[in-house]
Amino acid sequence: MSATLPAFVEQLLTAAAYPHPVAAPIQLLQTHISYVFLTGDYAYKVKKPVDFGFLNFTTLDKRRFYCQEELRLNRRLAPQLYLEVVPILQRGDRYYIGIGANEAIAADTPIVDYAIRMRQFDQSQLFSHLFAANELSPSLIESLGKELAYFHTTATTTPEITSFGSPSAIAQVINNCHTLAEQFIDRCQPRSQYDAIQAFTNQFLATHQDWFVERQAAGKIRECHGDLHLNNICVYNGQVQIFDCIEFNQEFRNIDGIYDVAFLMMDLEFRGRSDLANLFLNTYLEWSSDYEGARLLPLYLCVRAYIRGNVNSLALNDPAISDSEKAQIQATAAAYYEAAYHYTQPRTPKLYVMSGLSGAGKSTRGRRLAQQENAIQIRSDAVRKHLAGIPLDRHSRDFPDVDLYSQAMTQKTYDQLLAYAELLLKQGHTVILDAKYDRCDLRRPVIELAERLGVPLEIHYCSAPPQVLSQRLSDRQGDIAEATPDLLPTQMASFEPFEGAEERYVRHVCEYPEETLV
């Protein structure tokens, strides 16, 4: 029997320990805080009796409590995977998985530990494995963005949870990061970089305290996931499942939803796929309507990368890790610190306007442009529905009391587009406003905004023959837009041509038969 594994762990590697058939050999996966046993249909996760300060699993009662917390929290996002908490029992020198938590256990049968019983999924369906195989598709990223947006709008919030989003609480988290990173100066990053990151975070917190207070007041601090990266997302039964959220530390999970978003964005960008990060962000923002939250991304992206730098750096203090492994770990830590520094750098914003009739390809082109320019794309169709209180996946005909396309609602929609653009441009974000912009009085405020802020502006006019527009609208499925072919004659008749000062900003784009830029 191995000297490095507890006796019950050794026995959980045998079929006799389970009340169901297993696929031999049972696989054991380990992290610094848990053992995971893969048995075929089911996986069992057991917490190690460790204390790292930010988590404490040293007693049986604590491990039981945190198993139950893990079950409760993860059932929110991965209900198909998380089943129950089960006891690990001892009879003589035999250890085995006991019956379900709701069943009676004989008084003379000691419980030596607890495990979370889960459905085992195909490891090749982890997002990290799909990414490595170049199979992490845009549709999966969009599904993830929608699911997370819904989750954040429905996750629990209370005054206690909200308190974790105060400026002082966030400052404490960031100061702890700096304190930890300081010991690795000149080992994983130069002093100048450390100082620059610290100056950026201090300045951001000092300048924008009101933003964090506003986020608290708006109910944006929720019981979130807290550890959202590609290794904690999978596809199971054809559905995206987000699992392994933070159960052991309230500070790590009671956060602003946009901080959750920042972790996955940083993870994708660190892996060289800023296009997927941008698609994820734009999907999330469109479905959550949380464009105000995007103001915090420079700070939160920086902090997420910084924490990963710290986590990797700490492994350099482990005497059990070889020098060759430490060299790779040091390089990875340095890369994360460099990424954190990158997020502190000022950006030069641009403003793009997508204009044209329904079906002309505005949103398709805007999506491509957003990924090229790392821009935030704001679609009028989404903004209009959010303002009216209509879910994006519902049709306005299901809400007969709402006139979604009245003149007043149209003006309100364009005013909101303009407000979002100003908010984001001032923070260095490149913005794409995606709407018909078919009238001069709708385009004029956008031009005035760009000129007032000194931001470069391009108007991309998309067009196609009427028969192509009509066919596209007839074929459209699964989109939030509701335009139908019968609206085209009215749209064509009312579209006001570009004139005067507008013309110097226009780039004419023909989406048919092929895209050309003039």
Residue ranges of domains in the chain, CATH in brackets: 7-120 (no CATH), 127-343 (3.90.1200), 351-517 (3.40.50.300)
pLDDT at 515: 45
pLDDT at 366: 96
Q: Parallel, antiparallel, or unpaired: how do β-strands 506-510 and 457-463 relate?
A: parallel
Confidence of residue 477 (pLDDT cuts 50, 70, 90): confident
Q: What percent of the chain has pLDDT over 70?
A: 96
Q: What average pLDDT does range 31-53 have in this prediction?
A: 93
Q: Does residue 48 surpass a pLDDT of 80?
A: yes
Q: What average pLDDT does range 275-302 have in this prediction?
A: 98
What are the structure tokens assigned to 351, written together? 């403003």
Q: Parallel, antiparallel, or unpaired: how do β-strands 82-91 and 111-119 relate?
A: antiparallel
pLDDT at 419: 98
Express each pLDDT in 349-396 by its tens digit. 999 999 999 999 999 999 999 999 999 999 999 999 999 999 999 999
Cα dist from 305 to 125, 277, 299, whole Å: 25, 14, 10
pLDDT at 103: 53
Q: Are 421 and 449 in contact (CB under 8 A)?
A: yes
d(CA 226, CA 234): 16
Q: What percent of the chain has pLDDT over 90?
A: 88
* Closest to 402 (Cα-Cα) out of 418, 422, 388: 388
Confidence of residue 514 (pLDDT cuts 50, 70, 90): very low
Q: Are 46 and 35 in contact (CB under 8 A)?
A: yes
What are the structure tokens assigned to 37, written together? 């046993």
pLDDT at 512: 64
Express each pLDDT in 136-192 by its tens digit. 999 999 999 999 999 999 999 999 999 999 999 999 999 999 999 999 999 999 999
Confidence of residue 76 (pLDDT cuts 50, 70, 90): very high
Using DSSP's 3-state secondary structure scheme, residue 387 falls into helix
What b/e sequence results for 376-390 when a residue is b if at least 16 CB atoms lie within 10 Å of its CB, and e otherwise?
A: bbbbbbbbbbbbbeb
- Give the containing element (helix H, strand E) for 38: strand 34-38
- Supply the Cα-derived Rg of the chain in whole angstroms: 26
Any idea what DSSP says for residue 197? H
What b/e sequence results for 121-147 when a residue is b if at least 16 CB atoms lie within 10 Å of its CB, and e otherwise?
A: beeebbbbbbbeeeebeeebbbebbbb
pLDDT at 100: 59
d(CA 309, CA 235): 28
d(CA 339, CA 343): 7
d(CA 335, CA 329): 10
Q: Does residue 107 surpass a pLDDT of 80?
A: no
- Please classify residue 397 by burial: count the beta carbons closer than 10 Å to its beta carbon, then call 0-12 exposed, 13-18 middle and 19+ buried: exposed
Minimum mean pLDDT among 50-59, 379-388, 389-398, 407-416: which range?
A: 50-59
Phi/psi for 86 (5° steps) reads: -125, 150
Q: Are 437 and 446 in contact (CB under 8 A)?
A: yes
Minimum mean pLDDT among 59-63, 307-311, 318-322, 325-329: which range?
A: 318-322
Q: What average pLDDT does range 299-303 have in this prediction?
A: 98
- Please classify residue 226 by burial: count the beta carbons closer than 10 Å to its beta carbon, then call 0-12 exposed, 13-18 middle and 19+ buried: buried
Distance separating the N- and C-terminal Cα atoms of the chain: 74
Q: What average pLDDT does range 417-435 have in this prediction?
A: 98
Q: Are 117 and 83 in contact (CB under 8 A)?
A: yes
pLDDT at 381: 97
What does 406-457 look like in DSSP terms, one character per residue? Answer: SHHHHHHHHHHHHHHHHHHHTTT--EEEES---SHHHHHHHHHHHHHHT--E
- Could you tell me the maximum CA-CA distance found in the chain, to the nearest angstrom? 90
Q: Are 384 and 377 in contact (CB under 8 A)?
A: no
Beta partners for residue 95, in sequence order? 90
* Sequence-separated (6 or more) residues with CB below 8 Å from residue 206: none
Any idea what DSSP says for residue 22? -
- Give the containing element (helix H, strand E) for 237: none
* Closest to 245 (Cα-Cα) out of 99, 70, 406, 418: 70
Q: Does residue 435 surpass a pLDDT of 50?
A: yes
Q: What average pLDDT does range 221-226 have in this prediction?
A: 98
Q: Are 181 and 174 in contact (CB under 8 A)?
A: no
Q: Does residue 315 surpass a pLDDT of 90?
A: no
What are the structure tokens assigned to 452, written together? 């007032």
Cα dist from 214 to 208, 219, 412, 512, whole Å: 10, 9, 23, 46
Q: What average pLDDT does range 33-59 have in this prediction?
A: 94
Q: Does residue 446 surpass a pLDDT of 50?
A: yes
